[in-house]
Structure 1
Amino acid sequence: MKSILQIYNIKTAESRVVNVFDYHIEAPNWTMDGKNLVYNSNGYIYLFNLESKESKLIDTGRCTSCNNDHVLSSDGKQIAISSGTDDFGASRIWILPLEGGEPRLVTEMAPSYLHGWSPDGKTLAYCAERNGNYDIYIIPAVGGEEVRLTSAEGLDDGPEYSPDGEYIWFNSVRSGLMQIWRMKNDGSDQTQLTDDEFNNWFPHISPDGEKVVFISYYKDQVQPGDHPANKDVKIRMMSANGGKVETLMDLFGGQGTMNVNSWNPSSEEFAFVSYEL
């Protein structure tokens, strides 16, 4: 297995290889200073310097089963992660300093998979299974009571805040195939924004609030509620106002390619991972 870390430039419509790893890495985030990418691998979180091409382990304390659902705070000082621990295997959400340190538990209930952090730093948005249903929830970043925002039959996943904090984007199977949706941050006005012959996952909104990129699976290769690794997929883009969807590239990937927001601060580039078996 090779993991090919790449960066796509919106203006040139080209991607460049940043590094090739001889092991599995997933889900790059971009740090606020534009100098590093954060990724997960083998249960841990790493900081990758784009200039030196060196990876540095971020100390996540008792969280030794980190998965690919991790998000940085808008001030760039903290990272929220989804992880199990040695004494509790299911994924819960934790917050710790980006430089590493003892994580603080946010969600008592599991499984919980983080995807969004509000721009004001006060609220986390995540996908969680409760009583057999996977829906979208929010919770104060300081901890507290979680609030369920979706209740449609079937899987709702990938909640991510718009840069102004007014909306939460997500993906849902409620209309048959997995499609991209958007709602207000209180769960109201749930609106479908794609309606095509693909299964569309994980909408990521650019920092300028203008563009949304996401992963598309071929409907004859996966079930609508599945987002497996090692599939032929597309990275596609649309306006944050909806409308025409543009294919940016075809690649071998899927799970791990772009699970969380990977735009750089300028909104001109985003990072992703493709794979070779």
Structure 2
Amino acid sequence: MRHLYCLFALMPWASSAPQPVISQLETFDLATNQRTVIRRDTGRFEAPNWTKDGTSLIINEQGGLYRVAVRGGQKTRIPTGNITNSNNDHGLSPDGKLLAISNNDLLPGSNSRSSRVYVVPIGGGTPRLVTEQAPSYWHGWSPDGRTLAYVAQRAQGDGSFDFDIYTIPVNGGPETRLTTAKGLDDGPDYAPDGQTIYFNSMRSGKMDIWQMNPNGQNARQLTNDAFSNWFPHPSPDGRWLVFISYLVDQGSNHPADKAVMLRLMDLKTGKLRELARFRGGQGTLNVPSWSPDSRRFAFVSYPEN
């Protein structure tokens, strides 16, 4: 059999060329436990947000942002002026009127790109820069729409660099550092009452889900298991927390195209429920993606061909 395998490997049709990525935009219904595919495309798109009116999802693809109809899956580009290198950290203000965008900017006086945060009207327009410093990756709006929470890498007093969680007024101003623990802190998302920020952190030695007060105080660990747990998102009614778990510990990385599962935490009881397993990771659930009625959330899977 080994000789036969080698012969097949030499055939011209037995190509080892990489297969094109397939992306599936899906929703999960908590009442029925059903997954529904909204759109399936060749190529990589990522990170859905659900619009305030419940009719559309917003994704990023090849540097652009697109609105995808929940019914029918039609895709239309959101005009964002000269901001054309958007990454997968974007999301809607609580009133649904503004869209926060993390864009990989060509920085002044530099030949390199790094992420900074902008806001733009949901219908499109000229983006307004909020974070002057880079890198900055948006992750959450405060419920009153006045504050953005994001992850940023900044120089520390000892000359080292670390990724921590910061906040900044949406109209601009000085940023406030919320976390100081060694190791990566990421994925901040506000509870709907504004009294809690959920996030993921390496401070215990492994990536787990945590929560803290909106001023960064009183951090409490919520998960402690064999998985790498990332990107917690509370439902609009405050009942549920959905997040993604890598089946194999990934350290401080969240790579694409790995074995992952979606899990749901009941915030009243702390009980965990596994919802689905598939191929995913980076791009699957980076940003808030709940439907306005808290019944469904959206995510992206990357099935193998």
Give the Cα separation in 1 of the matches to 2:269 and 2:91: 24
Aligned partner letter, 1:122: R
Matched, 1:67 2:87: yes
> Residue in 2 aligned with 1:256?
283
Equivalent position of 2:6 in the other structure: none
* TM-superposition CA deviations, 1:104-135 (whole Å, max 9, x none): 00000000000000110100000100111000
C-alpha separation in 1, matches of 2:198 and 2:70: 29
Tell me the CA shift for residue 241 of structure 1. 4.1
Q: Which amino acid aligns with 2:274?
A: T
Contact conserved, 2:106 with 2:114, CA < 8 A, in 1? no
Identity %: 51
Name the counterpart of 1:170. 199
The gaps in structure 2 that reach 5 residues or longer are 1-20, 156-160
Report matched runs for 1:208-247 at 5 Å.
208-220=237-249, 222=250, 224-241=251-268, 243-247=270-274
Greater mean alpha carbon deviation, residues 240-249 or residues 147-156:
240-249
Letter in 2 for 1:118: S
Quote the Cα distance in structure 2 between the aligned partners of 1:241 and 1:61: 43
The CA deviation at 1:51 is 2.4
1:276 matched to 2:296? The reply is no
Q: Deviations over 1:216-257 (max 9, x none)?
A: 01234x2x2000000010100102246221110101000001
Determine if contact 1:4/1:273 at 8 Å carries over to the other structure. Answer: yes
Of 114, 117, 122 in structure 2, the residue corresponding to residue 93 of structure 1 is 117
Aligned match of 2:12: none
In structure 2, the partner of 1:113 is 137
Which residue is equivalent to 2:26? 6
Are 2:67 and 1:47 aligned?
yes
Q: Which runs of 5+ in 1 are unaligned?
A: none
Partner of residue 265, structure 1: 292
User: Does structure 1 retain, via aligned residues, the 8 Å contact 2:182–2:203?
Assistant: yes
Match runs of 1:6-45 below 5 Å: 6-45=26-65
> 1:85 and 1:185 mapped to 2: Cα distance?
28
Q: Residues of 2 paired with 1:251 and 1:137: CA distance?
A: 32
CA contact (8 A) 1:62 1:86 kept: no
8 Å CA contact retained: 1:31, 1:264: yes
1:9-34 Cα shifts (integer Å, max 9, x gaps): 00111111111111111000000000
Matched length: 275
> 2:217 is paired with a residue of what secondary structure?
coil
In structure 2, C-alpha distance between the alignment counterparts of 1:205 and 1:33, rounded to whole Å: 18
TM-aligned CA deviation for residue 62 of structure 1: 1.7
Paired residues of 2:107 and 2:114 also in contact (CA < 8 A) = no
Please give the alpha-carbon distance, in whole angstroms, between the structure 2 residues aligned to 1:261 and 1:180. 15
Q: Is the 8 A contact 2:245 2:262 kept in 1?
A: yes
State the one-letter code of the partner of 2:142.
S
Deviation at 1:276, TM superposition (A): 2.6
Residues 159-201 of structure 1: CA deviation (Å, up to 9, x unaligned): 0000011111100010011000001111111111111111100
How high is the TM-score relative to the length of structure 1?
A: 0.97
Q: CA RMSD in A?
A: 1.1
Distance (Å, rounded) in 1 between the aligned partners of 2:245 and 2:145: 29
Select 1:139's aligned residue among 148, 153, 168: 168
Distance 2:72 2:271 in 1: 38
Aligned-residue offset at 1:87: 5.2
Please give the alpha-carbon distance, in whole angstroms, between the structure 2 residues aligned to 1:62 and 1:186.
34
The 3-state SS of whatever aligns with 1:67 is: strand
- The offset of 1:84, in angstroms, is 2.0
Code of the residue aligned with 2:85 in structure 1: it is S
Q: Which stretch of the first structure deviates more once superposed, 48-57 or 165-174?
A: 48-57
Cα distance between partner residues in 1 of 2:22 and 2:248: 26
Aligned to 2:222: 193
